[in-house]
Amino acid sequence: MKELSLSQRLQQLSIEDLNTRVESMRRDLFGLRVNAATTKVKDFSQYKKLRKHIARIMTAIRAKTGALVSVKKS
């Protein structure tokens, strides 16, 4: 069986689950910033990866809420 892509997996989650993932990732990003200020960072690519993943989840949230709004208007 073919594995689902990240966007397909995100579309299957509820809005509440997506919001909790975004909050968790934002905390992780904050932790990276704090660690960068206090210690030496080994992998700076983590910043970019987390920001892009947050953006993907936010896009999925907006797609779901936009779909709900368009259904209500019709």
Domains of the chain by residue range: 6-73
Helices assigned H by DSSP within the chain? 6-12, 15-38, 45-73
Beta strands of the chain (E only): which ranges? none
For residue 3, give the DSSP letter.
P
pLDDT tens digit string along 12-63? 888 999 999 999 999 999 999 998 899 888 888 999 999 999 999 999 999 8
The per-residue pLDDT for 17 is 92
Architecture per CATH, 6-73: Orthogonal Bundle (1.10)
Q: Angle at which helices 45-73 and 15-38 pack, to 10 degrees?
A: 160
Question: What pTM was computed for the model?
Answer: 0.77
